[in-house]
Amino acid sequence: MAFSHISFKKMNGLGNDFAVLDARANDFQLTADEASAIANRETGVGCDQVIVLEPSSRADVFMRILNADGSEVGACGNASRCVGALVAAELGRERVTIETAAGVLDARISGDGLVTVDMGVPRFGWRDIPLAKEEPDTRAISLAITLPDGRVLEGPSVANVGNPHAIFWVADVDAYDLATFGGALEYDPIFPERANISLAEVIDDQTVKLRVWERGAGITQACGTAACATAVSAARTGRTGRSVEIRLPGGVIGIEWRADDDHILMTGPVAHEFEGTLTLSGGSLTVARES
Ligand SMILES: N[C@H](CCC[C@H](N)C(=O)O)C(=O)O
């Protein structure tokens, strides 16, 4: 649907970047192609996900999440922190609620500029991930990939943290070029709704190194929901405790998988890059950066 001028804020969470569009004042619906055009790093704003803010009757804001390929998804951890910070500043509050397709999240701004989002409770049932068939143990499922050099990766953990994740535990994440096989795993038939693919390496019982190929976006500098899914997998498989630091290329995300209610608390920074307006008419997009 064509719309005239729409304001956006370019933000990121540890380099995982977003164009945050505000549809609360003037309603519009983005098509997948329009979202993809906005995400295009050559001709659009350039971002991993396009976030659309809409009014909510259940929370302070509704956050719609569209990947760079135009697919609409239920959760985005890094964007939840960015939207939390944005709405908290608008309302002059330290705590705000964000409605998403996967549920209502609670975001809290802490004094040192960090934002903590309660990402809810992970789900592990094969139908919850979802998987195409039952798996006896979702801590390690029967998926394997043989790389061009003959090495085999197999037995990933899977979890749904508002979106589907598969985590392969390896001795050295830097020994693999995830960009060359992440897409094949994202589209493996075991994942009927595709999946976000991670390589994780235990540094110690409180620290994990993580590289992510995101569903619908490819390699990103950071992925908040992958950090959540990886922390949960690490605890479930006895690799770490329930509070870990996840080290991503873009920086560190702190995760606490709270013991008394299984909620996942994710803490990290947010960054404002610039603002601007978009104009989309007859399929052509123009971006005017204003700050
Ligand atoms: N690519 C994800 C959505 C964005 C998640 C990521 N940017 C995050 O911070 O959680 C998916 O298709 O499920």
**What structural domains does the chain harbor?**
3-120+270-289 (3.10.310.10), 144-262 (3.10.310.10)
Element (H, E) at 213: strand 207-214
Which of 223, 161, 180 has the alpha carbon at shortest distance from 198?
223
250 lines ligand 1 (CB under 6 A): no
Q: Is 228 part of the annotated catalytic residue set? A: no
Residue pointed to by tokens 């309603």: 27
On the CB side of 269, CA atoms within 13 Å amount to: 11
ipTM of the modeled complex: 0.97
102 lines ligand 1 (CB under 6 A): no
76: tokens are 């985005």
Q: Please state, in angstroms and rounded to a whole number, the distance separating the CA atoms of residues 222 and 249.
A: 6
User: Is residue 3 over pLDDT 70?
Assistant: no
Residue 247 · residue 212 · CB < 8 Å: no
**158 backbone dihedrals φ, ψ, rounded to 5°:** -130, 150
Arithmetic mean of pLDDT, 121-142: 97
Q: In whole angstroms, how far apart are CA 266 and each of 171, 179, 287? A: 25, 26, 32
Task: Report how far ligand 1's centroid is from the alpha carbon of 227 (Å).
Answer: 10
Arithmetic mean of pLDDT, 16-24: 96
Residue 262 · residue 122 · CB < 8 Å: yes
Arithmetic mean of pLDDT, 215-233: 98
Task: Report how far ligand 1's centroid is from the alpha carbon of 161 (Å).
Answer: 10
Residue 185 · residue 225 · CB < 8 Å: no
In the annotated binding site, the residues are: 16, 49, 67, 77-78, 163, 196, 214-215, 224-225
State which ligand 1 atom lies nearest to the alpha carbon of 217. Answer: 1
101: tokens are 């397709």
Residues 6+ apart with CB under 8 A from 142: 135, 154, 155
Which of 247, 208, 213, 209 has the alpha carbon at shortest distance from 145?
213
CA quadruple 279, 75, 129, 198: dihedral positive or negative?
positive
Query: What would the pLDDT profile of 155-209 be if each residue is shown by its tens digit?
Result: 999 999 999 999 999 999 999 999 999 999 999 999 999 999 999 999 999 999 9
Q: Is 47 part of the annotated catalytic residue set? A: no
Task: Report how far ligand 1's centroid is from the alpha carbon of 48 (Å).
Answer: 9
pTM of the entire predicted model: 0.97
